[in-house]
């Protein structure tokens, strides 16, 4: 059974940094692209970033480009999201999600999701 477990969320001041992790089990991790998707309290879903299975290509939403960095360690079955220069509008539950295949092209959807980790940016 595929399981994704996020960690690393918490309360951080504006301008601060956090590093989220997502540990995967029950899956050949390197065979799948992975994404981070966030959801502000009471709001809809917003895609944040993605990385292909090999880690060789990364993708970002305009709202986080230059501030967030996605990476993965396939030897540890773990996905990361380094978040710098955090703003109030980054407050959300952050989900990691597994793609259907190794790439992030057209038709790349997420079939398994973690339960999310809450990031709160506030002074």
**What would the x/- binding string for another protein be over residues 37 to 56, using CB under 8 A?**
x------xxxx--x------
Binder of another protein out of 55, 113, 118, 120 (CB under 8 A): 113
Find the shortest distance in angstroms from Cβ 75 to another protein.
Answer: 26
Residue 92, H or E segment: strand 92-99
Q: Is 108 in the site for another protein (CB under 8 A)?
A: yes
Separation in Å, CA 48 to CA 27, 57, 75, 99:
22, 15, 24, 14
Separation in Å, CA 121 to CA 17, 21, 55, 72, 90:
10, 18, 28, 24, 7
Number of neighbours of residue 65 by Cβ within 10 angstroms: 10
Find the shortest distance in angstroms from Cβ 99 to another protein.
Answer: 9
Find the shortest distance in angstroms from Cβ 18 to another protein.
Answer: 20
Q: What is the 3-state secondary structure (H, E, C) of 99-116?
A: ECCCCCCCCCCEEEECCC
Q: Is 116 in the site for another protein (CB under 8 A)?
A: yes
Residues 11-40 that bind another protein (CB under 8 A): 37
Which residues in this chain contact another protein in the complex, by CB under 8 A?
37, 44-47, 50, 59, 61, 95, 100, 104-111, 113-116
């Amino acid at each position: 059974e595929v399981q994704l477990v996020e960690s690393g969320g918490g309360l951080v001041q504006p301008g601060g940094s956090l590093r989220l992790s997502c540990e995967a089990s029950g899956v050949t991790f390197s065979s799948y692209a992975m994404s981070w998707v966030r959801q502000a309290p009471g709001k809809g879903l917003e895609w944040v970033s993605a990385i292909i299975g090999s880690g060789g290509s990364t993708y970002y939403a305009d709202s986080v480009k230059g501030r967030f960095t996605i990476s993965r360690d396939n030897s540890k079955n773990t996905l990361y999201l380094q978040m710098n220069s955090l703003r109030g509008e980054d407050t959300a539950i952050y989900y990691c999600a597994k793609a259907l295949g190794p790439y992030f092209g057209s038709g790349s959807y997420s079939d398994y999701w973690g339960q999310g980790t809450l990031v709160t940016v506030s002074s």
